[in-house]
Amino acid sequence: MPRPSKRGLAAIIGSIAAAGVLALTPAFEGTVLTTYRDQGGVLTYCTGATEDAQWGRTYTPEQCKAQLDRDLARHAEGMMACIHAPMADGQKIAYTDVTYNIGVAAFCGSSMARRTNAGDAAGGCDALLMWDKIGGTAVRGLTRRRAAEREICLRGLN
């Protein structure tokens, strides 16, 4: 499990990208103040948080906001550690959101990261579309999320 980030999201990916992620991620995750099982069966709470989830707990909106801030920073830091090519803000937004959704290890081992590091920025963005399945079955919400991430990712590329 990645260690907690000591830096804030804006310090990791920049203020423009941080603002974009803080708008995008909650829009797709939603916020639930109690623990629940997500579509993949993972115990989840607040705005898609899974770390230290405990069944039956209730959270305040303030606790959920603080958890999201910590989680996004941790996932952005992990994503940035495995991308060695320069990135536009749109890539940072999309890749932070997908990393939050699939995890740092999955992102760093993905064709998104490989293509981006190889200098194929558009190909890295296109590879987002492959991550719309749970258990091998495409999920409509993930398909919509990946299409939105891809559109954002492609912004600002030459």
pLDDT tens by residue, 97-137: 999 999 999 999 999 999 999 999 999 999 999 999 999 99
CB distance 75 to 104 below 8 Å: yes
The answer, yes or no, to whether residue 80 has pLDDT greater than 90, is yes
Beta bridge partners of 58: 34
From CA 15, how far away is CA 21, in angstroms rounded? 10
- Quick one: CA dihedral 2, 112, 138, 73, positive or negative? positive
User: Where exactly are the structural domains of the chain?
Assistant: 9-154
- pTM as predicted: 0.93
Catalytic machinery residues: 29, 38
As to burial, measured by CB atoms within 10 angstroms (0-12 exposed, 13-18 middle, 19+ buried), residue 119 is: exposed
Q: pLDDT per residue over 1-13, tens digit each? A: 445 556 899 999 9
Q: The domain at 9-154 falls in which architecture?
A: Orthogonal Bundle (1.10)
